[in-house]
Structure 1
């Protein structure tokens, strides 16, 4: 069965910006942001960082910035070639199978052939060969971790716009994809979200930017209150879909809205900023913030009230969103 992200974790896998990646124009800014994120994760659990083996300077910067975490054995660095930092989509997806973890290595083709992913698509097998990943099983399906979200009890959320996009699995229709996911991930039900989007999202609307489970029966989701905002109608339609969804026993889910951050632009392009792109860690929740005092505070308060037994902390993620991703996108939990 596909595991829930709030279950006990062994470590969090992340990537690191390097000079051979698209981060080159803002490399120092991006590295500073990721170092802050890495050190925040390390307050809760171990961090495994993939550093491109061609960029020795990037490794030196990380070694210098995280001396304490490395000395304490909390941080491990792996030299592997990479295209980018988005571990959520190239990292392994974990299922429980008879008291053991199986790591599923799905194909990653740069979100439907939009970007190069030749190195990212081999990271899991490389780490397996290095002895880092055990029980790794290659899958024929193209599937990104950010496109699915599990309640840990047999139900997953996803979007039709992503999973049915023609450059991912063009030989399969919706019914065939659903059947494959139910079998492969050990699921009983898939909830398909057909509405909702964020301008600037290159992923064809990954669910982790729109709606997430925070426990077996609760979904938090992005809600737009501004009727003049371009997202208002689509997110309102998504809200109605979520209200209609039922669990395996036919019960409605508890729904908690998160605010939509005020518009952020980079080179005149609106960016897909979202508070739903948070990361569960052992005993905590790390939430992206975007320099929007009102909505940052509201989102943090909402999530802390919903998860009173976790320490909810914020990390400034405006740098990451410039390249159309956030904290959850840049990380993958390992159980």
Structure 2
């Protein structure tokens, strides 16, 4: 049964582990909202099947479904692609969309005594869309069903809005985010009363990551207005990959160069410099004239593999090679994401890790 705590996770010894730490499970919301993938929902189900097939050998995959009918569809697809049904758990938690990274529970862990809990941020559909009444309750439903303690994230007497894709942590106290996403006071404003210092205090108290590194803007085409998981990710406690656009005529070129300059001046929580590895960008992809957020940085680190979105692009091979050199302890696997990115997100946006207790 879930418990509401008045103290903060950090005060009780909790922190958000790095994504490469051992998982108990990966959470996914099975797709059903046809407006997320206009005219493409059918192939998306099979892409999800492939994602589950690659994750399940190393951890449990916990999938949110809307109904018995939805569950039947999911089990049929997973059986056909060869997923071991014993590695999958389905939960009848209706959702508005499938972007579990952003509305799902953010898990925190402490070592003594060993416990996994949930930091529950408020979700309001990226301060952009009106339909989030189901998604915003998923963290509570997971906490109650799984028997996890839940910390409701509040600051100044109000709930704090934050999506999982807006942050990335090294598990040692440092967190990456962007000013565009969390500090913009005009576009998709999440927390109009909170400034830089307030956000940093929230990250310290609820995620155990008070050393916040502020990048500038996210990539063009990102519907979230600046999520960091499309441009810069930790791959070890002291190393990040940062997307690079070599074409100076591309809109992303100077955005990414400004972020590179910032990273070169940053220090980690222990005062050391960050090792920055450049990750290429694929050629731009468009849907009905709208640029899509195609990026190799939206990879997901599972126990059994690192899943990387690929785009039928010459840089697919280069990006996979760079990440394979950085992740020597598990295979790096490409997942075809040309259809997936029509939904304005790919692999990291769909997944949420639950650390091993």
TM-score (norm: length of structure 1): 0.93
Alpha carbons 2:233, 2:242 under 8 Å: kept: yes
- The yes-or-no answer on 1:120 pairing with 2:158 is no
How far did 1:81 drift? 1.1
Match of residue 25 from structure 1 = 39
Match of residue 231 from structure 1 = 252
Higher mean alpha-carbon deviation, 59-68 vs 21-30, is at 21-30
Residue correspondences, number: 329
- The yes-or-no answer on 1:178 pairing with 2:192 is no
Match of residue 59 from structure 1 = 71
Match of residue 329 from structure 1 = 349
Structure 1: tracts of 5 or more residues without a match? none
Instruction: Find 1:92's aligned residue among 75, 80, 105.
Output: 105
Instruction: Find 2:227's aligned residue among 193, 206, 213.
Output: 206
Match of residue 76 from structure 1 = 89
TM-score (norm: length of structure 2): 0.88
Instruction: Find 2:333's aligned residue among 287, 305, 313.
Output: 313
- Aligned pairs for 1:29-40 within 5 A: 29-40=43-54
Alpha carbons 1:20, 1:83 under 8 Å: kept: no
- Relative to structure 1, the CA distance from residue 95 to residue 128 in structure 2 (aligned partners, 3 Å threshold; closer, same or farther) is closer
- The yes-or-no answer on 1:108 pairing with 2:123 is yes
Match of residue 3 from structure 2 = none
Match of residue 147 from structure 1 = 166
Deviation per CA, 1:225-282, whole angstroms, max 9, x where unpaired? Answer: 1111111111111111111111123221111111011111111111110101111111
- Aligned pairs for 1:120-139 within 5 A: 120-129=135-144, 131-132=145-146, 134-139=148-153
Q: Which has the higher contact order (CA 8 A, sep 6+)?
A: 2
Structure 2: tracts of 5 or more residues without a match? 1-14, 154-158
Q: Distance in 2 between matches of 1:48 and 1:320?
A: 20
Match of residue 10 from structure 1 = 24
Alpha carbons 1:148, 1:158 under 8 Å: kept: yes
Higher mean alpha-carbon deviation, 184-193 vs 255-264, is at 184-193
Q: Distance in 2 between matches of 1:181 and 1:236?
A: 26
Alpha carbons 1:124, 1:133 under 8 Å: kept: no
How far did 1:69 drift? 3.4
Alpha carbons 1:162, 1:206 under 8 Å: kept: yes
How far did 1:190 drift? 0.6
Q: Distance in 2 between matches of 1:24 and 1:224?
A: 28
* CA RMSD after TM alignment: 1.7
Q: Distance in 2 between matches of 1:123 and 1:21?
A: 21
Deviation per CA, 1:131-154, whole angstroms, max 9, x where unpaired? Answer: 235122222211111111110101
Match of residue 187 from structure 1 = 209
